[in-house]
Amino acid sequence: MSFTAELRDIHADLFEAFWAHPFFQGLLDGTATRDAVVHYVGQDVGYLQAFLRCYGLGQAMAPTPDWTAFFMDGARIMLEEEPDAHRALVEHFGVDYEACQESRLAPTAKAYANHMELAGHDTLGVLMAALLPCQWTYTWAALRAEREQAPGADHPFRAWFDFYTSEECQQLVVDYRRRTDALAAAAGTAERQRMAEAFADSLYYEVAFWQMAATGETWDRLPARVLGTED
Ligand SMILES: Cc1ncc(C[n+]2csc(CCO)c2C)c(N)n1
């Protein structure tokens, strides 16, 4: 079994938790609240900028022109296409995408961004393993939603589904996995271990990011799960 197929198996529970999280289910059935969605997108703008910096760190480690092109193309897609998917989420609530960016990353978003950027100062393999869950979870969950719930053409978040289920995004997952598998195969035991851990941490943070949105987590407002007021 390939390195990434094995990680997918080991962490099937986290993929499931990502899918089943009430915030994501709320995006699917259209019941997500305005506050949660605006907080999510407001935080995600900063997260995406950290992701773009990681593509820069990847560029700095690119061993071949093919790798340079991979990171350049990834950054281009993020700059040109990803914002549209997110614009649809907030515009449904009459909120301007450009206006909703929050000035400070909340604890969970900041921890995730820091984790990815630190991986970008390790090896190319560790960086790729840290970045992979981002593309994989979103495209996997959006395809599953299309398959199981068939959100209609009039779904308020149609552009979100269209982007993450696009051929381009599906191909990115294939490419990410192929590259990560090749790096894992060439890595020694210690590096492969750090790759596995970087992947697991990012996957965990993907679920935690939904939770941050749902609880309105910020530095000033502790989430209910910390305050012990969650029922
Ligand atoms: C918290 C969070 N996780 C994942 C994504 C999705 N995403 C972010 S960058 C990117 C492109 C990778 O090449 C993708 C698919 C998001 N928007 N926010």
| pLDDT beyond 70 at 223 | no
Q: How far apart are CA 121 and CA 15, in angstroms?
A: 26
Ligand 1 binding pocket mutation candidate from 24, 48, 105 (most atoms within 8 A of CB): 48
Give the pLDDT of residue 222: 67
- Of all residues in the chain, the percent with pLDDT exceeding 70 is 97
Residue 86 CA to ligand 1 centre (angstroms)? 10
Ligand 1 binding pocket mutation candidate from 77, 80, 105, 135 (most atoms within 8 A of CB): 135
- Mean pLDDT over residues 121-146, rounded? 98
| Atom number in ligand 1 closest to CA 109 | 1
Give the pLDDT of residue 8: 98
Q: DSSP letters of the chain?
A: --HHHHHHHHTHHHHHHHHH-HHHHHHHHT---HHHHHHHHHHHHHHHHHHHHHHHHHHHH--SHHHHHHHHHHHHHHHHTHHHHHHHHHHTTT--TTT---SS--HHHHHHHHHHHHHTTS-HHHHHHHHHHHHHHHHHHHHHHHHHT---TT-TTHHHHHHHTSHHHHHHHHHHHHHHHHHHHHS-HHHHHHHHHHHHHHHHHHHHHHHHHHHT--SSS--HHHHT---
Give the pLDDT of residue 104: 94
- Mean pLDDT over residues 121-144, rounded? 98
| pLDDT beyond 70 at 226 | no
| pLDDT beyond 80 at 172 | yes
| Atom number in ligand 1 closest to CA 86 | 17
| pLDDT beyond 80 at 42 | yes
Residue 148 CA to ligand 1 centre (angstroms)? 22
Residue 133 CA to ligand 1 centre (angstroms)? 9
What's the whole-model pTM score? 0.94
Q: Domain map of the chain by residue range?
A: 3-214
| pLDDT beyond 70 at 231 | no
Q: How far is CA 163 from CA 14, 30, 142, 225, in A?
A: 23, 17, 9, 32
Question: What burial class does residue 16 get, using C-beta atoms within 10 Å of its C-beta: 0-12 exposed, 13-18 middle, 19+ buried?
Answer: exposed
| pLDDT beyond 80 at 227 | no
CATH number belonging to domain 3-214: 1.20.910.10
| pLDDT beyond 70 at 48 | yes
Residue found under tokens 């696009």: 166
Atom 2 of ligand 1 has which residue's CA nearest to it?
Answer: 134
Most confident of 25-29, 93-97, 114-118, 157-161: 114-118
Q: Which of 222, 224, 207 is nearest to 21 (CA)?
A: 207
At 156, is the pLDDT very low, low, confident or very high (cuts 50, 70, 90)?
A: confident
Ligand 1 binding pocket mutation candidate from 23, 105, 131, 138 (most atoms within 8 A of CB): 138
Atom 15 of ligand 1 has which residue's CA nearest to it?
Answer: 135
| Atom number in ligand 1 closest to CA 139 | 15
- Mean pLDDT over residues 89-109, rounded? 92
